[in-house]
């Protein structure tokens, strides 16, 4: 009997692997399979239990057995070992292609857009109505950003280990503008900037807008930016800035540990190379406490912090901010 149910399980598994039954499909009932394979119902049930153990089936109460594909261990991608050289950035066409792709059945991972089901639509509507009732009070320019908004951001920053005042904060049109302003404040066209590889297309687009060359620093999917690779780049090239997503980088998803963030901040401060930190994904943690940004370990005022609410409230609001630190004057001019 043991051999028989195992044979039935093997045959069903083969049908699943060949695509006859796909992910989410409901298998025929046990009586149907009993007649199909010429075995008893108990043998079919034992075959189902075997496939459950292998990860190919899941039982749903009062619904039957459904196909699922087992989770397989995927080896981590290896960091490239080749030596990188500064190159111009040509990301505009690629970025436009990604934004233009409107296939509804595809999940737009490249553009990192939150699913509409997770957006606080009702709260946004209420806030918009509240702002409309305030009239002209909410419609002025308010450079460098509404004081009440900057005060709230200062409170948020204090909660993640970055004590600042509202005057230290500059409101921006999303994180993208914050990064562009930061780059313009510390670089000139043609300068060399270190970036993660692979990197988010939006960051590459910002670098292209400012007319910079980049040196690619390998990124580990768990540990984040290679500090060893960055150290080599600092020794070989006259870097003017380093752009890093320290928390849940896109596309690798890496989250640098606090210790590595400290090393990153210290290394760049010693070389007098500004760190432009994009912390737009910092609020998307799944367990534990919200990870601290590298800015929390900045004792030399060498980190320009950039973030926004595009990934948590709404991408269309384009509501971002930056903490330029000692570069506030040059950032405001740019």
**Is 28 in contact with 79 (CB distance < 8 Å)?**
no
Phi and psi at residue 305, in whole multiples of 5°? Answer: -95, 135
Q: How many structural domains does the chain have? A: 2
pTM (2 d.p.): 0.73
Q: What pLDDT is stored for residue 146 in this prediction?
A: 82
**Residue 77, domain member (yes or no):** no
Q: What pLDDT is stored for residue 130 in this prediction?
A: 81
What tokens does 47 get? 């075959």
Same domain, 157 and 198: yes
- The C-alpha angle 321, 190, 237, rounded to 5 degrees, equals 95
Same domain, 24 and 170: no
**Residue 82, domain member (yes or no):** no
Residue 211's SS3 state is coil
Neighbours of 314 (CB within 10 A): 16
Q: CA-CA distance, 119 to 312, in Å (whole number)? A: 7
| Residue 57 lies in domain | 2-67
Phi and psi at residue 278, in whole multiples of 5°? Answer: -100, 105
Q: What pLDDT is stored for residue 104 in this prediction?
A: 55
**Residue 150, domain member (yes or no):** yes
In order, the DSSP letters of 113-147 are: PPPGGGS-HHHHHHHHHHHHHTGGGGSS--TT--H
Q: What pLDDT is stored for residue 148 in this prediction?
A: 87
**Residue 80, domain member (yes or no):** no
> How confident is the chain (334 residues) per 10-residue block, as mean pLDDT?
82 91 92 93 93 92 88 62 73 57 57 76 83 68 78 96 96 93 96 93 91 93 93 96 95 93 98 97 89 97 95 82 93 72
Q: What pLDDT is stored for residue 1 in this prediction?
A: 46
Same domain, 53 and 119: no
**Is 171 in contact with 220 (CB distance < 8 Å)?**
no
**Residue 101, domain member (yes or no):** no
Q: What pLDDT is stored for residue 287 in this prediction?
A: 83
Residue 232's SS3 state is helix
**Is 251 in contact with 229 (CB distance < 8 Å)?**
no
**Residue 75, domain member (yes or no):** no
**Residue 134, domain member (yes or no):** no
**Residue 133, domain member (yes or no):** no
Only one residue has tokens 């993660």, namely 196
């Amino acid at each position: 009997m043991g051999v028989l149910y195992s044979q039935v399980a093997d045959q069903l598994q083969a049908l699943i692997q060949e695509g006859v039954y796909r992910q989410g499909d409901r298998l025929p009932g046990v009586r149907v399979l009993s007649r199909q394979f010429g075995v008893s119902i108990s043998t079919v049930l034992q075959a189902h239990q075997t496939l459950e153990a292998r990860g190919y089936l899941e039982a749903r109460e009062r619904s039957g057995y459904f196909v699922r594909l087992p989770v397989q261990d995927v080896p981590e991608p290896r960091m490239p070992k080749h030596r990188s050289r500064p190159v111009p950035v040509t990301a505009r066409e690629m970025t436009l292609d990604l934004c233009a792709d409107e296939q509804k059945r595809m999940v737009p991972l490249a553009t990192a857009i939150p699913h509409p089901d997770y957006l606080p639509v009702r709260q946004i509507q209420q806030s918009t109505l509240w702002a409309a009732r305030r009239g002209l009070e909410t419609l002025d320019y308010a450079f460098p950003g509404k004081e009440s908004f900057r005060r709230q951001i200062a409170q948020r920053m204090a909660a993640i280990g970055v004590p600042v005042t509202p005057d230290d904060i500059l409101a921006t049109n999303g994180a993208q503008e914050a990064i562009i302003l930061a780059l313009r404040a510390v670089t000139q066209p043609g300068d060399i900037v270190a970036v993660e590889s692979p990197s988010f297309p939006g960051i590459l687009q910002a670098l292209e807008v400012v007319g910079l060359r980049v040196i690619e620093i390998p990124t580990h999917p768990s540990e984040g930016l290679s500090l060893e690779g960055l150290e080599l780049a600092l020794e070989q090239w006259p870097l003017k800035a380093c752009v890093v997503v320290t928390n849940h980088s896109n596309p690798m998803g890496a989250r640098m540990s606090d210790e590595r963030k400290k090393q990153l901040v210290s290394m760049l401060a010693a070389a007098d190379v500004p760190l432009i930190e994009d912390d737009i994904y910092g609020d998307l943690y799944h367990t534990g406490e919200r990870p601290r940004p590298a800015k929390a370990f900045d004792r030399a005022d060498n980190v320009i912090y950039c973030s926004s609410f595009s990934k948590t409230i709404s991408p269309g609001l384009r509501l971002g901010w930056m903490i330029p630190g000692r570069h506030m004057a040059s950032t405001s001019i740019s």
